[in-house]
Amino acid sequence: MSLQLTDDQLDLLKEVFNLGVGRAAASLSKLANNKYEVVLSLPKLQILPLRDMVSILETESNNNITCVSQNYTGPFNGTAHMIYSHAASLRLVTMMLDSNVPSERLSELESDALMEIGNVLINACLGALSRMFKAEIETELPQILSGTPENVFKKGHPNFDLPVTFIRSEFQIKEENLKGYISLFLETDKIQKLLEMIDQYNQELMGM
Amino acid sequence: MSILLIVDDSKTIQKQITHFTAQHFPELKVVTASSAEEALTLIPGIIKDLRVAIFDFNMDGMTGLELIEKVKDIIPTNKIILCTANIQEAIKAKAHGHGVNFKEKPLTMDNFKETINIVLKK
């Protein structure tokens, strides 16, 4: 399936992601007791086969990612995935936690903190869409997976030719010289209904 | 005619605020800029009629806070609203430090109406 987004569709999807990332940044900062300011880049959006997204993630994440996935249902259904590079996420969580936390508890707390931030980001994006479209969107509990990008996505997505909508922002914590990416991807074969609603929303705004 | 200026790189947000303004403040003319740099070229021409300015924070080039730094001597800061989903305390503190209004995105019709009414009375 090939998909070409209009400028209005691209603009709205990026803005919605921006809202989500902004909330996620605030949550990150709050988890670290507001000691750090998280600086975000503008989101980039690409539509590409899943295999190409996996290649990008392999290069950028040193082949090790953590992914929080959440199914949503409503006027449009699908799964949103928030992806972190593993090294950046581990440092993030270490920064947030008391240095007295025993190392054996770190990975447990890491999953918990990343799941929470993923949950905030995904729900902020979906919440923004829900308010715009005045429609209820329900989410299931988030799930977290870590490993190589290929392994993380192989299970739920046997077809790596599947086109996906891949949106990402770079985050930076200057005080700690830490950089990473927050990404979201949506299965493109499931976003047709969402795109129709975006068009309808834009028409309503224009037809005022 | 009194002017409401929107500085936001999202056309969706520009359209949404234009729509809200037409619904509730038809006396305000909306002027839009897609970047802080574009706003700086527009502001001298509209300054005498400018009543409210809504700045996004996260934009390509200059941020909304950097734009506030540039215009705070010509636009009363209590007429500026910094509107962002990036609700970190550090950003809120900087906004409040300049005396500008801080609003969380996305704006709804109701909180837009309330905020603009407050700013127009200042």
Instruction: Using alpha carbons, list the distances in angstroms from residue A134 to A75, A125, A129, A137.
Output: 10, 14, 8, 10
Question: What is the widest separation between alpha-carbon atoms in chain A?
Answer: 59
- Say what the pLDDT of residue A103 is: 60
- DSSP SS3 for A207: coil
Q: Is the peptide bond before B106 cis (omega within 30 degrees of 0)?
A: yes
- Say what the pLDDT of residue B32 is: 97
- Say what the pLDDT of residue A198 is: 87
- The answer to whether the Cβ–Cβ distance between A7 and B9 falls below 8 Å is no
- The answer to whether the Cβ–Cβ distance between A29 and B89 falls below 8 Å is yes
Nearest alpha carbon to residue A164 among A79, A81, A54, A47: A47
Task: Kindly tell me if the per-residue pLDDT of A19 is higher than 90.
Answer: no
Residue A205 structure tokens: 């705004």
pLDDT digits (tens, 9 = 90+) for A119-170: 887 888 888 888 778 888 888 888 888 899 999 988 777 788 888 888 888 8
- The answer to whether the Cβ–Cβ distance between A22 and B22 falls below 8 Å is no
* Mean pLDDT across B54-68: 94
Using a CB–CB cutoff of 8 Å, tell me whether B26 touches chain A.
no
- DSSP SS3 for A181: strand
- The answer to whether the Cβ–Cβ distance between A205 and B15 falls below 8 Å is yes
pLDDT band at A98 (very low <50, low <70, confident <90, very high): low
For residue A171, the distance in angstroms to the closest alpha carbon of chain B comes to 12
Which residues in chain A have their CB less than 8 angstroms from residue B92's CB? none
- Say what the pLDDT of residue A39 is: 86
Residue B5 or A45, more confident: B5
Which residues in chain A have their CB less than 8 angstroms from residue B66's CB? none
Residue A36 or B94, more confident: B94
> What residue has token string 């837009």?
B112
CB contact at 8 A, B53 and B79: yes
* Mean pLDDT across B41-46: 97
Using a CB–CB cutoff of 8 Å, tell me whether B106 touches chain A.
yes
* Mean pLDDT across B47-54: 97
Residue A76 structure tokens: 């449009």
Q: Round the average pLDDT of chain A to a whole number and report it.
A: 81
* Mean pLDDT across A196-206: 83
Residues with Cβ within 8 Å of residue A125, at least 6 apart in sequence: A16, A17, A19, A20, A80, A184
* Mean pLDDT across B92-105: 93
Rg (CA), chain A: 17
pLDDT digits (tens, 9 = 90+) for A56-83: 999 888 888 888 888 888 887 888 888 8
Task: Report ipTM (2 d.p.).
Answer: 0.74
- The answer to whether the Cβ–Cβ distance between B88 and A124 falls below 8 Å is no
CB contact at 8 A, A137 and A1: no
- The answer to whether the Cβ–Cβ distance between A37 and B108 falls below 8 Å is no
- Say what the pLDDT of residue A172 is: 82
- Say what the pLDDT of residue B63 is: 93
- Say what the pLDDT of residue B56 is: 94
* Mean pLDDT across A193-202: 85
Look up the pTM and report it.
0.78
Q: Which residues 39-98 of B have a C-beta within 8 angstroms of A?
A: 58-60, 84-91
- The answer to whether the Cβ–Cβ distance between B89 and A12 falls below 8 Å is no
Q: Whole-angstrom Cα distance, residue A132 to residue B122?
A: 30
- Say what the pLDDT of residue B79 is: 97
pLDDT band at A109 (very low <50, low <70, confident <90, very high): confident
Across the interface, of A22, A29, A205, the residue whose CB is closest to B85 is A22
- Say what the pLDDT of residue A126 is: 84
